[in-house]
Chains A and B, each alone.
Chain A
Amino acid sequence: MAQLSAGVRRARREAQRSVRIQGRASGLLGDCRRAFHAFGELDELAENLRILSLNAELAAGRAGEMGRAVRALTQYTRELVNRLAQIQGEMFGLRVKTYALSSDVLRELLQLHLFERAADLVAANSASSKSAGIVADRAFAQVMRRMVDTLDSLADSVEAVARRAQAIEEVVSQSDSIATNIAIEASSAGVHEKEFRTVSDTMRRYVDDLRQMIDEASDAVRRALEKGDSLRRIGLENLHELQAKRILGE
């Protein structure tokens, strides 16, 4: 086993600023992944809801005059399904953007780590010039600044995801009240009661699934926002520290 110099050992021990950041960043990226994974079911749920609304409309048609209110409710459901499809499209764009930003963060992290190690090795080396340390620190600071910018964009895109989650929540609560109203209509629909009740029960089941999906996704989004914010703070602290050392040469 090769003998490591004291300087190298020190550099290894000290290259921890970036390791700490790295830990949080992978947590952040994990949360983003979790959020999009949860939303992955939106597709199927929206399609189920669409088919249900078609079947409900047929049932309402068969019920004639007794199905009039249900028919109106199912049309409203169809609008909600369209709304879901629109959100889904937007979510796709956001997912692409978020993953692109995440990969930028990963690349910047790798560079941060390498510049930090370089700066520490230079510092550990008594023969190195002072300007060499400044060069490495300055490169570290540049990447850090870039990473803070990327984290800002990432936070924007996670917030946009949060807004979509809220929009889905609205669709869910409206679907819930439609299900309740269909159940009410069912009780006075005579021979059609059973059919309408099945529609309302199925709808409620879908609503529950959507709600669970939203809960999972919102939890991940909330955590991602918190982690992004704390990472950004760490980045800014680092930049201030380097600024205090007059590395940045403003």
Chain B
Amino acid sequence: MKCVSLYNQGSHRWLAFGQDPAKPDAVIDTVQYVVCAQGGAMLLDPGGMEVFPPMLASITQEIAIEDVSGIFLSHQDPDVGSSLPLWRRVCNPETKIYVSALWTGFIAHFDREAVFTAIPDEGMEISLGSDVRLKLVPAHYLHSPGNFHVYDAKAKILFSGDMGAALVPPGAASGMFVENFASHIPYMEGFHRRWMSSNRARDAWVAAVSKLDIEMMAPQHGLVFKGDDVPRFLEWISGLDLGSGVAAMAR
């Protein structure tokens, strides 16, 4: 599994893990992120259980597993966190698990012993070390009804869950970043039209996120947007008609 550093200032680091060549084809490709600061580390969408073995092997090359202090799940999907019961076995028992208050009882279906810190609809802030604050930004209905992104104002990185996700065919990307926005659109368009349900929610999210100073937007599938590709994405998503599945019911 590949590991790419997105940000590295002293102990404050953002790492992206993905593009595992040994991943079975049937399993959708995901990117897992780790934010570290001063001996604490937070896993962002640690992935499905199929990803757990290579992920554990890769992450332990970068950080000590005892340093993991938090696990954040953007929403309830299996590709996001069905590995949770496995992580809980290797992490410190005090490791906090953050997930939308909507989903705690549902995620308990794959880990009945987990104790959750329920994120209220408005979001919340989490400290990592003494000077890194992670802001959990609401992104409800995009696609999940209880959904959060993570913004790190110091690193200027927004982890955007399924927002900005792309189904990039194997071999089509050489690195972890979007190189050419226009040619990246075909990998995102169908996904966003069908998976993202609400134009209203999208507008509210774009308005909120536009106020943040973002240098990188890191989605859970596909490639990371950096620099001008971030506003480019916001503009592109603003013009897209979401909820295409409704047409199938109208017929």
Contact = CB atoms under 8 A, between A and B. Distances in A.
Interface of A: 2-5, 8, 11-12, 110-111, 114-115, 117-118, 120-122, 124-125, 127-129, 131-132, 135-136, 138-139, 142-143
A27 to B, nearest CB: 24
A131 B85 CA distance: 20
Interface stretch (B59-67, B195-203, B235-243): B59-67
Contact of A118 (B21, B56, B85): B56
Given A8-B22, A114-B49, A131 B89 contact: no
Contacts of A110: 49
Of the four ranges (under 10, 10 to 19, 20 to 34, 35 or more), the interface on chain B belongs to 10 to 19
B57 interface: yes
Contacts of A138: 90
A5 B65 CA distance: 24
A111 B170 contact: no
Interface core residue of B21, B53, B85 (most chain A CB under 10 Å): B53
A215 B53 CA distance: 45
Contacts, number: 69
Given A124-B57, A132-B56, 17 more contacts: A2-B21, A2-B170, A11-B53, A111-B85, A114-B53, A114-B86, A117-B53, A118-B52, A121-B54, A121-B57, A127-B61, A128-B60, A128-B61, A132-B57, A135-B65, A142-B89, A143-B89
Interface in B157-194: 170
B49 to A, nearest CB: 6
Contacts of A2: 21-22, 170
Interface string B49-90: 100111011001100110000000000000000000110011
A131 B54 contact: no
Interface core residue of A117, A132, A138 (most chain B CB under 10 Å): A132
Contacts of A5: 21-22
Q: Is the interface of B mostly helix, strand, loop or mixed?
A: helix
Contacts of A136: 56, 90
Contact of A121 (B56, B86, B89, B170): B56
Interface core residue of B49, B57, B86, B89 (most chain A CB under 10 Å): B57
Contacts of A122: 56-57, 60
A115 B83 CA distance: 11
A3 B89 CA distance: 31
Contacts of B170: 2
Interface of B: 21-22, 49, 52-54, 56-57, 60-61, 64-65, 85-86, 89-90, 170
A114 B50 CA distance: 8
A111 to B, nearest CB: 6
Contacts of A111: 85-86, 89
21 contacts: A2-B21, A8-B54, A110-B49, A114-B52, A114-B86, A115-B53, A115-B89, A118-B52, A118-B53, A121-B53, A121-B54, A121-B56, A122-B57, A125-B61, A128-B57, A129-B60, A129-B64, A132-B56, A132-B65, A135-B90, A138-B90
Nearest to A107: B85
A169 to B, nearest CB: 39
A203 to B, nearest CB: 50
Nearest to B89: A139
Contacts of B56: 118, 121-122, 132, 135-136
Give the 7 A-B residue pairs with the shortest CB-CB distance, closest first.
A132-B60, A121-B57, A117-B53, A2-B21, A118-B53, A139-B89, A118-B56
Nearest to B110: A107
A3 B60 contact: no
Nearest to B57: A121
Contacts of B21: 2-5, 8
Contacts of B54: 8, 118, 121
Contacts of B53: 11, 114-115, 117-118, 120-121
Contacts of B64: 129, 131
Contacts of A12: 22
Contacts of A135: 56, 60, 65, 90
A202 to B, nearest CB: 50
Nearest to A113: B53
Contacts of A3: 21
Contacts of B89: 111, 115, 139, 142-143
